[in-house]
Amino acid sequence: MEERQLLISQRLLRYVVEHCLEEKPYEACGILTGRGNRILTAWATENARRSTTAFEVEPSHQVQALNGARKRGESLLAIYHSHPTAVAYPSTSDIRMGIHWPEAARVILSLSGRVTQRAFYIRGNAVREIAFEVDEDVRGEWLDLRQSSRT
C-alpha cells in the first residue's frame, strides 16, 4: 500500500476528539475507514482493556466496523487512539501492537494540554509519520458503536 497523507473533515475530527475526551482518563480507540486517502467513516469503539496506558478495540466492534466498511465499499485506513497524559507518538506498546493491521495508519491524539493529533505507519520497529490533515471537501459519517453496547 502506498503510504500518503490522510484527509478527514473537521466535523469527523471533532467527533474523534470528543470521543477521546469523553473516555479520559482511559485511552479511547476507534477505526477510520474510507477510500483512497479520504476518511469517510469514523467508528467509535470501546477500549476492551479499559486502561489509562493501553488499548484494544473491542473485538465485536472491530467486526462490526470492518464488515460495515466493506458494505460501504470502504477499506481500513487507520486505527485511532488517545494518549491521555502522553505525547502523540507511538509508545513501545503501540509499536509492538503495530504487527496487527500493518496496512493501517495509527492516528494518536494527545490529551495532555492542548489536544494534538498525529498519524504514523508502523512497520516492525520503524515508525514513519505521515500528514493527517483537515480537508472540508471530504464528507463523512460518525458511527458510535459504543451506543449499541450500552443499551
**On the CB side of 111, how many CA atoms lie within 13 Å of its CA?**
20
Residues 6+ apart with CB under 8 A from 143: 41, 42, 43, 44, 65, 68
pTM for this structure?
0.94
Interval 54-110: pLDDT, tens: 999 999 999 999 999 999 999 999 999 999 999 999 999 999 998 889 999 999 999
Using the predicted structure, report yes or no on whether residue 45 has a pLDDT greater than 70. Answer: yes
How would you classify the pairing of strands 116-123 and 126-130?
Answer: antiparallel
Interval 103-142: pLDDT, tens: 999 999 999 999 999 999 999 899 999 999 999 888 899 9
